[in-house]
A and B are shown apart, each in its own frame.
Chain A
Amino acid sequence: MKSLLALAFLTAAAFAQPRDIFDYTGQNNAAAGTKRLVFIAAKGTHGGGGQHEFFAGASYLARRINETYPQAFSVVYPENNWPKDLTKADAIILLLNHGGKAADDVNIKAACDRGAGFAAIHYGVEAFSAKDEWYDHMRLVWR
């Protein structure tokens, strides 16, 4: 019982670690059972300030998820530091001006095929060159 309590305490302590949305190593090393959310967001804006603020938006969503769920560890990658290792990702969330790069990304495909969740916001839903198969693993198909 004592060891169980210790385990519970350690687990709680592990979850109580601050989860910084740019701490990629921390997310990778998080305790088993942690839900790992990977946001990929375009930086900057176009069409004037306050529009297409995807990096600010992703940062907001990631922080709220980490606050709401002690078992979740969200990180945000800027588009120019595209995540390469998605083997532990439970969900991939795009906030982009175009989803094309994600459509061609073999690691995203592998993660989705493994059963990771997928979300796309705004122009992230769109990929001009994508084949129907892409929309399947992006879960955006309704054939």
Chain B
Amino acid sequence: MKGVTPVLSAIAPLNMVKFKEGDKPSAHGGNPDAFADVKAGKTQHFAWAFDWTKGGCGFGFTGFHFFANMTNDSFRTTMLNGVAWVSGLEIPAGGIASKTPAQAELDAMMTVARGAGAMPVGHAKPVLETPLMMAKNPKPRLIDIDVAIKNAKELYLVASDQGRISCDWASWIEPRLILADGKGIDVTTLKWKGEERGYGRTQIGKNNAGGPIQVEDQVYANGIGTHASSTIAYDFPAGVERFTAKGAIDDGGMVRAGKLSDAAMRFHISTALLR
């Protein structure tokens, strides 16, 4: 442990040593050296600082599973101090002062981080945003999207979850890039360069659970099914002038236990990430 200063240390509780030989406590577990130490009741370090002889500092902390831990002053200050210390910032006596956040403030931070009511963070201002679509206020079920995107080099199709990932089955129906000569390129034939979603899978011609894309009982063979909060990113072919599609809450997300669900989303078109 040359150069390492343990910051937080503990002996693992007994239930950590009940695993049989070869068992892994979780997908992340299973380091045999660590496991042997835990079984032997040796002290484990879960926060540490490292002063490197070659210059530069390191701080490791295995905690922060629960966001609510931020309401613990000691926990929060340890994280702030560690981050400031590796950055070469001077730590005031008593540590970096910060107000104890209320749970409501943490809830708001999580909501913002998930892109509630707007684009997920990290995207440039969208060139188009649809009105809010909700299962509980279900008209119109399809929203026509038609937006000029001349000279754009990238396309980001975003479905935001309005703060809660719940039944947000989002479908992009018949997405097209329109060229100057009026010809359309079927976006479902393009290979996306990246995608992410709040749940399930993003799929061509299927909803996020693998069934047909369907709105008001009509099946749409051509489309992309996903689940908000979702982003699908493409690099552009040359000469594109417009993007058109229909955005919809898929039938699969509309009803839960016989009632209209909590599904709520907006569709956004962006042509860049913030850089």
Are A56 and B86 also in contact (CB < 8 A) when A44-B229, A81-B122 are?
no
Are A60 and B70 also in contact (CB < 8 A) when A35-B88, A115-B55, A123-B28 are?
yes
Determine if A65 and B83 form an interchain contact, defined as CB atoms under 8 angstroms apart: yes
Cα A143 to Cα B177 in complex, Å, equals 56
Cα A24 to Cα B273 in complex, Å, equals 11
Q: Is there a chain A Cβ closer than 8 Å to B218's Cβ?
A: no
Q: Is there a chain B Cβ closer than 8 Å to A18's Cβ?
A: no
Determine if A51 and B106 form an interchain contact, defined as CB atoms under 8 angstroms apart: no
Determine if A43 and B87 form an interchain contact, defined as CB atoms under 8 angstroms apart: no
Q: Is there a chain A Cβ closer than 8 Å to B110's Cβ?
A: yes
Determine if B274 and A59 form an interchain contact, defined as CB atoms under 8 angstroms apart: no
Closest to A38 in B: B87
Closest to A128 in B: B28
> In chain A between 95 and 116, which residues have their CB closer than 8 angstroms to a CB of chain B?
95, 112-116
Chain B residues with CB below 8 A from A112, complex form? 56
Excluding A78-B122, A123-B28, 18 further A-B contacts by CB distance (< 8 Å) are: A22-B122, A43-B114, A56-B67, A60-B101, A60-B109, A61-B79, A72-B87, A81-B275, A90-B88, A91-B87, A112-B56, A113-B54, A117-B57, A118-B56, A118-B57, A119-B86, A120-B59, A121-B61
Cα A56 to Cα B151 in complex, Å, equals 34
Cα A50 to Cα B68 in complex, Å, equals 7
Query: Which listed residue (B70, B83, B273) contacts A91, Cβ 8 A?
Result: B83
Closest to B57 in A: A117
Q: Is there a chain B Cβ closer than 8 Å to A19's Cβ?
A: no
Cα A64 to Cα B86 in complex, Å, equals 15
Determine if B110 and A117 form an interchain contact, defined as CB atoms under 8 angstroms apart: no
Chain B residues with CB below 8 A from A117, complex form? 56-59, 85-88
Q: Is there a chain B Cβ closer than 8 Å to A125's Cβ?
A: yes
Are A64 and B96 also in contact (CB < 8 A) when A56-B112, A121-B61 are?
yes
Closest to A50 in B: B67
| Contact pattern, A 28-50, Cβ under 8 Å of B = 1, otherwise 0 | 00000001010000011101011
A residues engaging B (CB < 8 A)?
A: 22, 24-25, 35, 37, 43-45, 47, 49-57, 59-61, 64-65, 68-69, 71-72, 77-78, 80-81, 90-91, 93, 95, 112-123, 125-126, 138-143
Q: Is there a chain A Cβ closer than 8 Å to B255's Cβ?
A: no
Cα A35 to Cα B62 in complex, Å, equals 25
Closest to B52 in A: A139
Q: Is there a chain A Cβ closer than 8 Å to B205's Cβ?
A: no
Q: Is there a chain A Cβ closer than 8 Å to B80's Cβ?
A: yes
Determine if A49 and B198 form an interchain contact, defined as CB atoms under 8 angstroms apart: no
Cα A68 to Cα B97 in complex, Å, equals 8
Chain A residues with CB below 8 A from B112, complex form? 56, 59
Q: Is there a chain A Cβ closer than 8 Å to B127's Cβ?
A: no
Determine if A59 and B113 form an interchain contact, defined as CB atoms under 8 angstroms apart: yes
Cα A123 to Cα B67 in complex, Å, equals 14
Query: Which listed residue (A35, A69, A81, A90) contacts B273, Cβ 8 A?
Result: A81
Cα A114 to Cα B79 in complex, Å, equals 24
Query: Which listed residue (A53, A90, A115) contacts B110, Cβ 8 A?
Result: A53
Determine if B4 and A142 form an interchain contact, defined as CB atoms under 8 angstroms apart: yes
